[in-house]
A and B are shown apart, each in its own frame.
Chain A
Amino acid sequence: MMLDPLNLAGSAIFLLFAMAFLAMFLTGRQRLLNTLSFIAAAAASLAATAAGVWVVGSNIAIQAVMSIGLPDLPFHLRLDPLAGFFMTVVGLLSFIVSVYSLGYVKGIARQRPITRLVIFYALFLAGMFMVILADDALFFLISWEVMAAASYFLVFFEDERVENRRASFLYMVVAHVGAIAILLSFGVMSGLATGFEGFHGYTFDAMRQAQFPSAWATAAFLLAFVGFGAKAGVIPLHVWLPEAHPVAPSNVSALMSGVMLKTAIYGIVRVTFDLIRVFPWWWGTVVLVFGLISAVMGVLYALMQHDLKRLLAYHSVENIGIILIGIGLAMIFRSFNFPLLAALALTAGLYHTLNHAIFKGLLFMGAGSVLHATGERNMEEMGGLIRYMPWTAALFLVGCIAISGLPPFNGFVSEWLTFQAFLLSPSLPSPLMKLLIPMGAALLALTAALAAACFVKAFGVTFLGHWRGHHTPHIHEADWFMRVGMIMAAALCLCFGILPTLVIDWMDTVSGQLVGTRIGESAGAFGWMWLTPVARERASYSGPLVFLVTLSVIVIAYLLLHVRAGSIKRVPLWDCGFEKVTPRMQYTATAFSMPIRRIFGFLFSIREQVRLNPQAPHRAFPRRMHYYLRIRDRFWNWLYKPIVDISFWISRTAGRLQQGRIQAYLIYSFVTIIVLLIFMR
């Protein structure tokens, strides 16, 4: 057997399945199981990453047909640059998280058996790799379900808590509604590819060669967008995400948020750019508008959270929005036949996909370390962790800066590229687009600024100040496996931030495959130090120089100021002359976001009550104060509650048929047979 990328990726999947199988026999030896399975997962992820990097770098497409599954319906596999890129994204974060899990799951193993976690972790990874490799609708949907089911069981892992069971049920429902939409979309496409009589339209190749009538193509696109959007957490289909991600074990949250959502992005890109290929401009506008809504609303909802993992989950909604902005712009540019601009926007979107995987993985791993050390997810009970967990704090800070879109880390580069794509929209022929698209840029700027505010809050409340909890904590730093995992992610954040030209040069084959033009030549025209997306006169950014100049100014200032050894005196906190300052006087997460809550309050349903204890001698001197604040997602009331109510109503009404008397059921069968005899003659 020759070693080619497809074999490499295939053996990674095989290894994961083998591990899931083997795990069943190792239940008695939990520590061995932990070590063995996560080393295997790391190795498999590394192999998949290598396959992805290889395919994208050498710009090849490898296909294979596996005759397993149903008779006459073999599975088709294909690894092309687009699949290779997502393979790399998934593989890279899976590798990092698997290393992290070696330490993290050891902590879980002390409390409960981990066999279930290990099996479904392996299946989850295998499912994601299979989704990316699939080249026909059947195999795609089977893999999609493997991924969804495995992640359901992972969310369900700590099932003794009600919220976990609720969250995983909600996740399952939304995932299946999405899967139905995807199934229908593929059904439309494959039916039109070969006619509804034959079966052979189910391969992606057949869909690629087909010409779709525009109405049916639109139907297929909208169904696919709904289906994949439900998985990606596009607003308003996001409700499951802030429920399911926080309750899963943190290494799984990192994977779900970092890469599982990306398979949905992969699906959207695959269906639009590769399978349907020709589309009108308004499809791009749909994607762009939903991207903008998700970005702004996602970050605003995130600001209102005080559960660290829930906050991060809402930020996934925001970042999926930013990715969709790039992809939507690419679709608009492509439909107006501006291949270079489409390539730029697509690169921006895909680069953010890669970046988000890395920094969101890092942040969830950091949140996992905090959870592991303190047993606490509520930020209001934390504080001052930077003294107990210096490593986690510094690495979490890297993630915070990266996700806020600030230089020199990677989040900035992709947001910068998206801004550049926005600013090129005046070359579009439609005046409406010219006018409206720059407004989108303002919304993206708002998103980035609010994200920075949110992460000042998240980092400041969790890691800075004093411990807010009631009892003094016994907090320990994360162990070395966890640290190494986070260090790798943080190092990648920096590398992708200061060396974007190398990454873009590598991933350029993807835009070559999808829009027919590359931006690598112009983007790296002035050497690896300079990122010049269109032309040097248009815009340029040099990550290495910005980083080095700032660093050298800092170092020079530091050295100059330390020539004369000025002493630093440590004194107690300045307390304004009062007796003592207590940790409860610090700003809390709720207090921090209060101005923003007031400004953007109309977007939430907020209930705020302040009750004073009536026994106080005077209103101005309350003995006790009771503050109640509840912030809810408006979408839940607008969209989901009616559906839930209606389905309950229907089932209640239908339930009346259920009498529990055999005579009634016999009458039902009799009536049914009569009706059938009448109509089905």
Chain B
Amino acid sequence: MNVYPFISEILQIAIVLGIAPAFIGWVRMLKCWSQGRTSAGLLQPYRDISKLFAKDVVLAENASWIFRFTPYLVFGTTVLAGGIIPMLSIDLPLSATADVIVLVALFAIARFFTALAGMDIGTAFGGMGSSREMTIASLAEPAMLMAIFTISLAARSTSLSQIVQVIYSGQSVLRPSLAFAFLAFVLISLAETGRIPVDNPATHLELTMIHEAMILEYSGRHLALIEWAGMMKLFLFMSLGAVLFFPWGIDATGSAVGVVLAFVFLLLKLAVSGVILVLIETGLAKMRLFRLTEFLGSAFLMATLGMLAYYILD
């Protein structure tokens, strides 16, 4: 039995867990620089998380088990998602357990529970956050699946490993359909990970927050888990975009050198995607909630155009 896939699987999960905070640190650092502020450094997210882990938990009197279970579930599904996306190597044992539809559903169940936790305490903030988050999700999810379907039509598979392999082997690079799908994917990633212009991750202002409103009541290790899972989610969306649309450098041979090279490539791609993310975030202002219909509608339109382009042009 070949042990390489299992090693790269464990490596990959370790990387997702370990590097996700550094990535968010990188994004924040770039943002500070671009706005003329002094940054707290690449390692600040690690310090935040470890501080939160050390703190005691303060719970509202009427918080139920759902409120306490949610951080663990969100963390668990995100780690599993981190094991599914082939970032370093195509040959991952966990990759076959779930295809891209399951991946979307894993993020959906994490969101489902976060929204429930937001309503658990019974404050207006939590309910508002849950309501908005579920509205945005219900518009973003079809667009996300449309973008993914365009790719999976090109690759004739919904299995992530297979998609990456097909695109990597050069059968479908630089197709117009993929370009549209990529644009849609970028827009949806902003919505799904709660970045500007959809949501502002740095705000605690009542009228603008969406994701933060749901997790407002969390503290201590619960908050640490949710924050960490949020960082991993951003990391995963960025690397999903990187492997689906630009799979260069990924290891298809299953050798140690290949994995190391793939890691270096991944870091490079993430660094670049961080720059792009910051450019988008500093260039745009947060949208009004009901303008989001247009934003996500255009994402859906892009994905649909991608699908049309697949039939007409490819």
Enumerate chain A interface residues (CB-CB to B < 8 A).
Answer: 383-384, 386-387, 393, 397, 401, 404-407, 412, 416, 419-420, 422-423, 426, 431, 434-435, 438-439, 441-443, 445-446, 448-450, 452-453, 455-457, 459-461, 464-466, 530, 536-542, 545-546, 549-551, 553-554, 557-558, 561, 566-574, 581, 583, 585-587, 591-596, 598-599
A539 touches B80 (CB 8 A): no
Measured in the bound complex, the distance between the Cα atoms of B61 and A554 in whole Å is 24
Given contacts A541-B98, A572-B61, whether A566 and B159 have CB atoms under 8 Å apart is: no
Contact of B59 among A422, A569, A595 (CB under 8 A): A569
- Nearest first, the 8 A-B pairs at minimum CB distance are A587-B127, A465-B122, A460-B119, A453-B134, A449-B138, A449-B141, A553-B76, A542-B97
Query: In the assembly, what is the distance between CA of A459 and CA of B115, in Å?
Result: 11
Per a CB cutoff under 8 Å, which of B57, B79, B120, B138 touches A446?
Answer: B138
- Contact segment of B22-30, B35-43, B256-264, B303-311: B303-311
Taking the closest CB of chain B, its distance from the CB of A35, in whole angstroms, is 34
B135 in contact (CB, < 8 A): yes
Which residue of A386, A455, A572 contacts B64 across the interface (Cβ within 8 Å)? A386
B145 and A445 contacting across the interface, CB-CB below 8 Å: yes
User: Across the interface, which residues of A come within 8 angstroms of B293, CB to CB?
Assistant: 599
Contacts of A386 in B (CB 8 A): 64-66
Is there contact, CB below 8 Å, between A581 and B141? no
**Can you give 13 contacting A-B residue pairs, CB < 8 Å?**
A406-B108, A442-B146, A452-B112, A457-B131, A460-B118, A460-B130, A464-B120, A539-B101, A539-B157, A541-B98, A542-B96, A567-B57, A585-B124
Cα separation A438 to B158 with both chains bound (whole Å): 14
Interface pair B72/A570, CB less than 8 Å apart: no
Chain B contacts of A586 at CB under 8 A? 119, 122-124, 127
Query: B289 and A595: CB pair below 8 A?
Result: yes
Beyond A453-B137, A566-B57, list 14 extra A-B contacts (CB 8 Å): A393-B64, A406-B112, A407-B102, A422-B149, A453-B135, A457-B131, A460-B116, A464-B66, A537-B157, A539-B101, A546-B106, A572-B61, A595-B132, A596-B135
B137 touches A452 (CB 8 A): yes
Q: Is the CB of B112 within 8 A of A572?
A: no
Q: Are B119 and A587 in contact (CB under 8 A)?
A: yes
Q: How far is the CA of A449 from the CA of B152 in the complex (A)?
A: 20
Whether B19 sits at the interface, judged by CB under 8 Å, is: no
Structural contact, B131 and A540, CB atoms closer than 8 A: no
Are B131 and A592 touching (Cβ within 8 A)? yes
Number of A-B contacts (CB under 8 A): 246
| CB-contact partner of A573 in B118, B122, B152, under 8 A | B122
Contact of B58 with A by CB under 8 A: yes
Question: Interface residues of B: mostly helix, strand, loop or mixed?
Answer: helix
Q: Are A456 and B115 in touch, CB under 8 angstroms?
A: yes
- Please name all residues of chain A whose beta carbon is closer than 8 Å to the beta carbon of B289 when the two chains form the complex: 595
Which residues does B use to contact A, with CB under 8 Å? 53, 56-66, 72-73, 75-77, 79-80, 83, 94, 96-99, 101-102, 105-106, 108-109, 111-112, 115-116, 118-124, 126-128, 130-132, 134-135, 137-146, 149, 152-153, 156-159, 162, 217, 220-221, 225, 289-290, 293, 300, 303-304, 307-308, 311
The CA of A456 and the CA of B105, in the complex, are separated in Å by 15
What CA separation (Å) do A213 and B56 show in the bound complex?
Answer: 77
* Given A464-B122, A538-B157, A539-B159, A445:B146 Cβ within 8 A: yes
- Residues in A with CB closer than 8 Å to B138 are 446, 449-450, 452-453, 596
Q: Is the CB of B127 within 8 A of A573?
A: no
With contacts A530-B96, A537-B157, A595-B290 known, is A573 near B58, CB below 8 A? no
- Contact A557/B72 with A439-B304, A466-B122, A537-B159 known, Cβ cut-off 8 Å: yes
Cross-interface CB contact of A554 among B75, B112, B124, B220, cutoff 8 Å: B75
Question: Once the chains bind, are B290 and A566 in contact (CB under 8 Å)?
Answer: no
Q: Which residues of B contact A405 (CB under 8 A)?
A: 105
Closest Cβ–Cβ distance, residue A42 to chain B (whole Å):
32
> What CA separation (Å) do A76 and B225 show in the bound complex?
63
Q: Are A558 and B59 in contact (CB under 8 A)?
A: no
Q: Is the CB of A448 within 8 A of B76?
A: no
Q: Which of A536, A542, A561, A594 has the most CB of B within 10 A?
A: A561
Q: A550 near B131 (CB under 8 angstroms)?
A: no
Residues of B within 8 A of A593 (CB): 131
Expressed in whole angstroms, the Cα–Cα distance for A670 and B221 within the complex equals 93
Nearest CB of chain A from residue B274's CB, rounded to whole Å: 26
Contacts of B144 in A (CB 8 A): 445
Complex Cα gap A450–B62 (Å):
28
A441 near B145 with CB under 8 A, answer yes
Q: Shortest distance in angstroms between A130's beta carbon and chain B's nearest beta carbon?
A: 39
A572 to B63, CA, bound (A): 10
- Which of A541, A571, A592 contacts B60 (CB under 8 A)? A571
Question: With A585-B123, A587-B119 given, is the CB distance from A466 to B217 under 8 Å?
Answer: no
Question: Does B59 contact A537, Cβ atoms closer than 8 Å?
Answer: no
Instruction: Write the chain B residue with the least CB distance to A465.
Output: B122
Complex: A566 Cα to B153 Cα, angstroms: 50
- A residues within 8 A CB of B66? 386, 397, 464
Pair A416/B123 contact, Cβ less than 8 Å: no
> In the complex, what distance in Å separates the CA atom of A591 from the CA atom of B134?
13
- CA A195 – CA B225 in complex, angstroms? 73
For the complex, give the distance between the alpha carbons of A161 and B247 in Å: 65
- In the complex, what residue of chain A is closest to B99 when comparing beta carbons? A539
Are A546 and B59 within 8 A (Cβ)? no
Residues of B within 8 A of A542 (CB): 96-98
- Asked if B120 contacts A568 (CB within 8 A), the reply is no
Q: Which residue of A lies closest to B57 (CB)?
A: A568
A538 to B163, CA, bound (A): 9
Question: Judging by beta carbons under 8 Å apart, are B159 and A573 in contact?
Answer: no
Which residues from B are CB-within-8-Å of A598? 290
Pair A569/B145 contact, Cβ less than 8 Å: no
Given contacts A443-B142, A553-B80, contact A587 B131 (CB under 8 A): yes
**Cβ-defined contact, B75 with A553, below 8 A:** yes
Residues in A whose Cβ lies below 8 Å from that of B96: 530, 536, 540, 542
Pick the contact of B158: A420, A439, A574 (CB < 8 A): A420
Point out the residues of chain B lying under 8 angstroms from A426, CB to CB: 153
> Given the complex of chains A and B, what is the CA–CA distance between A397 and B116 in angstroms?
10
B102 CB contact (under 8 Å) in A537, A546, A596? A546
| Residue from B60, B77, B143, B153 in contact with A438 in the complex, judged by beta carbons closer than 8 Å | B153
- Across the interface, A423 reaches (CB within 8 A) one of B130, B139, B158, B217, namely B158
Question: CB-CB < 8 A to B153: which residues of A?
Answer: 423, 426, 438
Give the shortest distance, in Å, between A595 (CB) and chain B (any CB): 4
Report how far A422 CA is from B149 CA in the complex, Å.
Answer: 10
Give the docked Cα–Cα distance between A608 and B304 (Å): 34
Q: How far is the CA of A595 from the CA of B101 in the complex (A)?
A: 26
* B112 and A407 form a contact (CB under 8 A): no
Interchain CA distance A422-B307 in the complex, whole Å: 13
A461 — which chain B residues lie within 8 A by C-beta?
Answer: 119
Beta-carbon contact of A456 and B116 below 8 Å? yes
A566 touches B221 (CB 8 A): yes
Q: Once bound together, how far apart are the Cα atoms of A449 and B77, in whole Å? A: 18
A438 CA / B146 CA spacing, docked (Å) = 8
Q: What CA separation (Å) do A92 and B308 show in the bound complex?
A: 44
Given A542-B97, A569-B57, A574-B123, verify A406-B159 contact (CB < 8 Å). no
Contact yes or no, B221 A546, CB < 8 A: no
Rounded to whole angstroms, the CA-CA distance of A423 and B158 in the bound complex is 9
Counting chain A CB atoms within 10 Å of each CB, the highest count among B63, B115, B225 belongs to B115
Tell me whether B123 and A573 are in contact (CB under 8 A): yes
A551 → chain B closest CB, angstroms: 7
Which residue of chain B lies nearest to A459 when distances are taken between CB atoms in the complex? B116
Q: List the B residue with the shortest CB-CB distance to A424.
A: B156
Choose from A456, A566, A572 the contact partner of B56 (Cβ within 8 Å): A566
How far is it, in angstroms, between the C-alpha of A441 and the C-alpha of B300 when the chains are bound?
13
User: Given known contacts A435-B308, A549-B94, A558-B72, is B135 in contact with A573 (CB within 8 Å)?
Assistant: no
For the complex formed, measure the closest distance between the CB of B144 and the CB atoms of chain A, giving whole angstroms: 8
> Contact check: which of A438, A442, A573 meets B62 at CB < 8 Å?
A573
B9: min CB distance to chain A, Å: 11
**What residues of B have a CB within 8 angstroms of the CB of A464 in the complex?**
64, 66, 116, 119-120, 122
Bound-complex Cα distance A551 to B76 (A): 7
